[in-house]
C-alpha cells in the first residue's frame, strides 16, 4: 500500500505545463509595463518609464486544475520603436490590445495595433485569433475618463472580439482576471480547432517546472 501511494505521488508531481506566448500591445503610456508587473510581481510603479524594444517575464496561472506558463511580452508602444518590437509578434498565442480609459486617442489606435499585430505575426486571413481588449487605468476619476465602457463594448462587438475588460494596474483591479480571461479565450479557440481540424500542436511541453518569477529580458530591454 505504502509503495503504491508513493508511486502515485511521484507521478502526480511530474506535471506538464503549456507555454503560451502573450504579447501586450498599445500606445505608449497606457500602462502595459505596469500591467505586466502587477500581474507577475504584484507591484506598481507610479513613475514607470517608457519601454525600449521588448521585455518578457514568465508567470504560471492555474485554470481548471491545469497549469499554464504565460510568457508575457511587454512591447514599446512609442512609434519610434516599431522596428524593435514587431519581430517579436511571430509565434504569439494571445494578443492583448491595451488602451487607457483616460486617453481617447489610445482607444482609437486599438485598430492600428490589431492590424500591426496581424501583419507582423503573419496571421492568415480568416483565422480566429485570441485577442483581448484591455481598458487600463479604470481607477481614474470620472472627469478624467475619456472612453466609456459602452463605447469599448460596442467596438469589440463590431470587431468580433468577445473578450474585453477594464483593469487598473494601480489598484490591481481585474489584472489577474484579464490574464485568466485571455487564457480561457485561447482554450476556447483551441478546443474548437481540435474539433474541426487536426491542428499541429506547437505548444511547448516544459520538462522542468518553471517558477512564477522573472525569467529574462531581451533586446532593448530596460527603461529609458
Residues that bind ligand GTP (CB under 6 A): 26, 28-34, 45-48, 50-51, 76-78, 136-137, 139-140, 168-170
Closer CB to ligand GTP, 102 or 190, in the complex: 102
Closer CB to ligand GTP, 35 or 70, in the complex: 35
Name the minimum Å distance from CB 184 to ligand GTP: 22
Name the minimum Å distance from CB 32 to ligand GTP: 4
Half-sphere exposure of 216 (CA within 13 A, CB side): 3
Closer CB to ligand GTP, 70 or 96, in the complex: 96
Name the minimum Å distance from CB 218 to ligand GTP: 15
Name the minimum Å distance from CB 98 to ligand GTP: 7
CA distance 63 to 218: 28
End-to-end, the C-alpha distance of the chain in Å comes to: 61
Find, among 175, 198, 53, 30, the residue nearest to 105 by Cα: 30
Amino acid at each position: 500500500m505504502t509503495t503504491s501511494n508513493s508511486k502515485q505521488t511521484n507521478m502526480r508531481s511530474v506535471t506538464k505545463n503549456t507555454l503560451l506566448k502573450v504579447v501586450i500591445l498599445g500606445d505608449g503610456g497606457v500602462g502595459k509595463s505596469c500591467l505586466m508587473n502587477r500581474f507577475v510581481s504584484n507591484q506598481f510603479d507610479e513613475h514607470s518609464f517608457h519601454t525600449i524594444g521588448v521585455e518578457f517575464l514568465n508567470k504560471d496561472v492555474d485554470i481548471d486544475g491545469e497549469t499554464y506558463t504565460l510568457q508575457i511580452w511587454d512591447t514599446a508602444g512609442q512609434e519610434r520603436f516599431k522596428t524593435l518590437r514587431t519581430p517579436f509578434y511571430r509565434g504569439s498565442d494571445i494578443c492583448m490590445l491595451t488602451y487607457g480609459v483616460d486617453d481617447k486617442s489610445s482607444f482609437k489606435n486599438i485598430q492600428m495595433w490589431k492590424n500591426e499585430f496581424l501583419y507582423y505575426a503573419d496571421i492568415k486571413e480568416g483565422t480566429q485569433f485570441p485577442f483581448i481588449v484591455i481598458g487600463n487605468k479604470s481607477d481614474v476619476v470620472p472627469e478624467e475618463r475619456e472612453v466609456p465602457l459602452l463605447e469599448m463594448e460596442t467596438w469589440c462587438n463590431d470587431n468580433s472580439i468577445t473578450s474585453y475588460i477594464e483593469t487598473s494596474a494601480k489598484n490591481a483591479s481585474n489584472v489577474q482576471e484579464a490574464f485568466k480571461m485571455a487564457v480561457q479565450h485561447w482554450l476556447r479557440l483551441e478546443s474548437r480547432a481540435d474539433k474541426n481540424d487536426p491542428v499541429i500542436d506547437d505548444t511547448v511541453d516544459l520538462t522542468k517546472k518553471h517558477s512564477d518569477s522573472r525569467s529574462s529580458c531581451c533586446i532593448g530591454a530596460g527603461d529609458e
